[in-house]
Amino acid sequence: MAQRIQNLRRASTSEQMCEALDFSGRRWALRIVWELRVGPLNFRALQSACGNISPSVLQRRLHELGRLGVIEKIPGLGYRLSASGEKLFLVLAQLDKWSDGLRLAPSTSDK
């Protein structure tokens, strides 16, 4: 463990990783990918799958995800994960697994 940390201490954060982290830090971005895991969804279905996310943000995220090559638009079907998106989904599956051990907000003394 300490060994691993030692090894990583020299590594800087790559440009791509910055992009990935930056993008992940936008609301709904990863959620959209996660909701698409079940298969293609159209705009309105995605909207409701994400808990009625506002359409303007959804539209923007879909553009951004498309630009990153994570999703593809299929005319008459909606949006679906690309090959790269499927790989990203695998990462999110890990996150899902991790989140199992998450203690949920008790919200005491939490503004």
Partner DNA sequence: ACCAATGCTACACTTAACGAAGCACGGACA
Partner DNA sequence: TGTCCGTGCTTCGTTAAGTGTAGCATTGGT
- Selection from a second copy, DNA, none that 74 binds (CB < 5 to 8 A by kind) is none
16 counts as binding a second copy under rule CB under 8 A: yes
User: Can you tell me whether residue 92 is helix, strand or coil?
Assistant: helix
H helices present in the chain, as ranges:
2-8, 15-24, 29-35, 43-49, 55-67, 83-99
The answer to whether the beta carbons of residues 66 and 60 sit under 8 Å apart is no
- Selection from a second copy, DNA, none that 43 binds (CB < 5 to 8 A by kind) is DNA
d(CA 87, CA 102): 24
27 counts as binding a second copy under rule CB under 8 A: yes
| Residues of span 40-79 touching a second copy by CB under 8 A | 40-42, 45, 49, 63, 67-69, 77-78
13 counts as binding DNA under rule CB under 7 A: no
| Residues of span 75-94 touching DNA by CB under 7 A | 78
The answer to whether the beta carbons of residues 31 and 25 sit under 8 Å apart is no
- Biggest CA–CA distance in the chain, Å, is 52
d(CA 50, CA 53): 6
3 counts as binding a second copy under rule CB under 8 A: yes
Interface residue list for a second copy (CB under 8 A): 1-3, 5-6, 8-11, 13-22, 24-31, 34-35, 37-42, 45, 49, 63, 67-69, 77-78, 84, 86-88, 90-91, 94-96, 98-106, 110-111
